[in-house]
Amino acid sequence: MKTKFTYTAVIILVLLISAWNWSLSLNVAEKPIDQPTVAEPNNLLKEAIKKAEEGLAPAQVSLGEMYYNGQGVPQDYKEAIKWFTKAAEQGNQRAQFKLGYIYHEGEGIPQDYKEAVKWYTKVAEQGDQRAQFNLGYIYHEGEGVPQDYKEAVKWYTKAAAQDDADAQYCLGHMYRNGQGVPQDYKEAIKWFTKAAEQNLAPSQCLVGLMYANGEGVPQYYKGAVKWWIKAAEQGNAFAQIKLGEMYYEGQCVPLNYMEAIKWWTKAAYQGNADAQFYLGVMYMKGNGVIEDPTEAYKWLLLANMNGTNITVDGHKLGEYKYRLTIYDEKWNPNPHVLNAEQIAEAQKRAKEFVESK
């Protein structure tokens, strides 16, 4: 999961106006066409440096942004850090978050989780939900600090209470898995639902799964399908696979092999091995498509290449090739089903699929 960060374009003139109430009048129409229309930015840069050196925190942040983004000056992370630090030490929240983010991501400098935690904590304690989420994630994963689920829950809860969808999703996981808190499916689905209602696809998947499994709520397949559709339409491969399974089995929806293939194909083109395996089976059996052993073998090759958690007869595809009639007893293509030309064609298609990604 990526940490949160909002890139704000730094427009020097506007920042200076807001920070120092400095106005500038520029009439471009009065300038000759063959002359530069704006010579002032250099003056503004000098003024920004002057104000920053005088210790004005907003100016220091502005200058840090300029060096961070390479706007009006060559990009220079070390110089950006220098000015952000000066502003942060004066208590400027934006500068504190920027420093936390830069140290967390290691942008232009070596990653330093201790410094990231230091600055994130300062701004998180002032209520910044982005810093609260990032702190929760650091403690959750044990990034440069001892893994501490209780501390993760503490910060996730603060950010989640401010409607941070990622924090709500992570908090749902903590309650579902009993990490840092007693396992509580009702509390888990509560937080997953809050994030899902903000259109967070992974959370929509989990709400669907909990309805399907009856975790924290009565088992309700229609609820599962509702949330999986929302996530699948956003391109979430897990939801696409689950929807395909529902249509394949006719569970809570009319049995529809073509609809199953539609969703599995979407997931398969994202490189999902489970979906590729399912497509191989469909083409092998001719369910919803014209039976095509060559296309079946192509998808099974891809699934085997990518690996999958699907277990059949005690074997996992990726560890073992699943023996359909397409394989012989030595896990080689069955010559009674596929001839040499078909095998070569399937291998070619699989190779082209991989190369197209």
Q: What pLDDT is attached to residue 41? A: 53
Question: Does the CA dihedral 316-320-323-326 come out positive or negative?
Answer: positive
Q: Which residue ranges form the domains of the chain, and what is each CATH number?
A: 1-146 (1.25.40.10)
Q: What pLDDT is attached to residue 126? A: 95
103, two tokens:
């140290």
What is the pLDDT of the chain when averaged over all its residues? 85
179, two tokens:
């990490």
Q: Is the pLDDT of residue 296 over 60?
A: yes
Any idea which residue has 């003024």 for tokens? 47
pLDDT in tens, 8-63: 333 322 333 333 333 323 333 333 333 333 335 577 778 888 899 999 999 999 99
What is the average pLDDT across 66-75?
Answer: 90
Q: Is the pLDDT of residue 289 over 70?
A: yes
pTM of the model: 0.78
Question: Does the CA dihedral 229-233-235-241 come out positive or negative?
Answer: positive
Residue 232 in contact with residue 243, Cβ under 8 Å?
A: yes
Helix, strand, coil shares of the chain, percent, nearest 5, are 60, 0, 35
pLDDT in tens, 302-322: 988 887 665 555 555 555 455
Q: Is the pLDDT of residue 1 over 70?
A: no
- Is the pLDDT higher at 283 or at 312? 283
112, two tokens:
């330093």
For residue 108, give the nearest of 132, 74, 75 by alpha carbon. 75
Q: Is the pLDDT of residue 5 over 90?
A: no
Q: What pLDDT is attached to residue 20? A: 34
Cα–Cα distance between 189 and 168 in angstroms, integer?
Answer: 10
pLDDT in tens, 91-147: 999 999 999 999 999 988 899 999 999 999 999 999 999 999 999 999 999 998 999
Q: Which residues contact 151 (CB under 8 A, 6 or more apart)?
A: 135, 136, 139, 180
Q: What pLDDT is attached to residue 271? A: 92
Q: How many CB atoms lie within 10 A of CB 33?
A: 5
What is the average pLDDT across 200-213?
Answer: 97
Q: Is the pLDDT of residue 344 over 90?
A: yes
Q: What pLDDT is attached to residue 33? A: 32
Q: What pLDDT is attached to residue 306? A: 82
Q: What pLDDT is attached to residue 112? A: 94
pLDDT in tens, 96-111: 999 999 999 998 889 9
Residue 130 in contact with residue 109, Cβ under 8 Å?
A: no
